[in-house]
Amino acid sequence: MEFSFNGLFKNLKSLVNAKRSFLGVDIGSSTVKIVQIRKEEERAILETYGEIALGPYGNMKIGQSVKLPVDTMAQVIKDVMKEANAKANAARVSIPLKSSFVKMINLPINQEKNIADIVTLEARRHIPVPISEVTLDWWVLPTPEKEDKKKQEKASVEVLLVAIHNDVIAEYKNIMATAGLSASGFEIETFSLIRSGIGRGSQTIAILDIGATTSKMIIVDFGVLKSSILISKGSQDLTMALSQSLGVDFSKAEEVKREIGLSDLPEHQEISSVIEPVLDYIFHEAAIFLRDFQNKYGRTAGKLIISGGGSLLNGLSAYAVKKLTIEVERSDPFSKTEHPAFLSGVLKGVGTNFSVATGLALGEM
């Protein structure tokens, strides 16, 4: 089970026009996920996708996080492309939220004229490292109509400030170049989640991505990111807790997690009692985040979309509903792409894990 990829599209090889095919590459802490999409006028056609575990490349187990050197990471990307028969030569790549700085700031201005100067100046106060060491980006957020009056009185605008350390970008560029790919863009993973997870005009929606080492949560208002947090626990913490309390090695614990997960059966009581406290940490942070948003904006997220490998845990949706009293839906990024109708069922099941990679590829359109 070292590779989990899907070869269903292999026979469509002849149809692939590498020039118009784009790759989304999501380099996670425990897996690399790729999605290749072909652009045909305004249509996004899903060509192939694949996933590969990083553990075995660094003497670790499947499901374990590992930091690999540039050369090895480039080899991983080549391997997963080969397995998935992905031929695109241009790729967009995700930058982990943990290597980025994302903050919403309020600026006391209502004219966009000299906003660039003001933002750069303000950024120095908000970003914990020297500005010369980061690549800075920012967006003035649209003010919803009902807030207009209040905002004008305060004469302030909301600005989303984003910074990525230059060393991080340099490392990712290096990985892509070594893998023989041209990197046409980099994007913080949470922005990719929005593109693949949310329809235009959707009101207030929360997305929770449960990865191996961290969980990422964002709240999006009318398609625009309003707030994000990084939660320092992920699905690997469930495996480690199981390994410790059941006295089994990591691989066995990983198997128990994936096969049993959260179960109501009396014979699985012990497993649930180990898993639940770790999940409760994540959901506690999530609940505080939702509450803070409501206090600040007076609106509540109407729905929570869950994504990432950790969201595949049996019983997770129901548990999230119970803990957060919110409607929960699994992300279905492939629904934003065209594919043969008979594959819809299969793709809905596996898509969740490709939310970031799909969002990246769609961003090239």
Ligand X SMILES: Nc1ncnc2c1ncn2[C@@H]1O[C@H](COP(=O)(O)OP(=O)(O)OP(=O)(O)O)[C@@H](O)[C@H]1O
* DSSP helix/strand/coil, 227: strand
The binder of 234, among Mg ion, ligand X, none, by C-beta within 5 to 8 A per type, is ligand X
**Residues of this chain, 204-263, that bind ligand X according to CB under 6 A:** 211-214, 234-236, 239, 254, 257-258, 261
Q: Which part of the chain contacts ligand X (CB under 6 A), choosing from 17-25, 125-133, 303-311, 317-325?
A: 303-311
Query: Rounded to whole angstroms, how far apart are CA atoms 139 and 141?
Result: 6
**212 binding partner (options ligand X, Mg ion, none; Cβ < 5 to 8 Å by kind):** ligand X
State the nearest-atom distance from the C-beta of 189 to ligand X, in Å.
7
Tell me which of 24, 50, 63, 211 binds Mg ion, using CB under 5 A.
Answer: 211
- How many residues bind to ligand X according to rule CB under 6 A? 24
CA nearest neighbour of 336 among 192, 224, 204 = 192
The stretch near Mg ion (CB under 5 A) out of 67-75, 204-212, 231-239, 292-300 is: 204-212
Considering beta carbons, is residue 230 or 326 the nearer one to Mg ion? 230
* C-alpha to C-alpha distance for 201 and 190, rounded to whole angstroms: 18
Q: Which of 28, 197, 351, 359 binds Mg ion (CB under 5 A)?
A: 28
Residue 313, binding choice from Mg ion, ligand X, none, Cβ under 5 to 8 Å by partner class: ligand X
Question: Around Cβ 138, how many Cβ atoms within 10 Å?
Answer: 19
Cβ(162)–Cβ(188) below 8 Å:
yes
**Shortest gap between Cβ of 25 and Mg ion (angstroms)?**
12
Question: Per rule CB under 6 A, is residue 308 in the interface with ligand X?
Answer: yes
CA-to-CA dists, residue 200 to 99, 103, 144, 197, angstroms: 28, 23, 15, 10
Dihedral, 175, 178, 181, 187 alpha carbons, nearest 10: 10
Extended beta strands in the chain, E state: 3-5, 21-27, 31-40, 43-53, 90-95, 100-107, 134-140, 157-165, 182-188, 204-210, 215-221, 224-231, 303-307, 327-330
* Smallest distance from ligand X to CB 100, Å: 13
Site for ligand X in 70-89 (CB under 6 A): none
Q: For residues 118 and 246, which CB has a smaller minimum distance to ligand X in the complex?
A: 246
Is 197 a binder of ligand X (CB under 6 A)? Answer: no
Q: Which of the choices ligand X, Mg ion, none does residue 235 contact, using the CB cut-off of 5 to 8 A by kind?
A: ligand X
Provide, rounded to whole angstroms, the least separation between the CB of residue 308 and ligand X: 4
Q: How many CB atoms sit inside 10 A of residue 187's CB? A: 20
50 binds ligand X (CB under 6 A): no
Segment lying near ligand X (by CB under 6 A), choices 29-37, 200-208, 282-290, 321-329: 29-37
Could you tell me the CA-to-CA distances from 2 to 53, 82, 240 in Å, in that order? Answer: 7, 14, 20
Cα 91 from Cα 119, distance rounded (Å): 30
Count of residues that bind Mg ion according to CB under 5 A: 2
Binding site for Mg ion (CB under 5 A): 28, 211
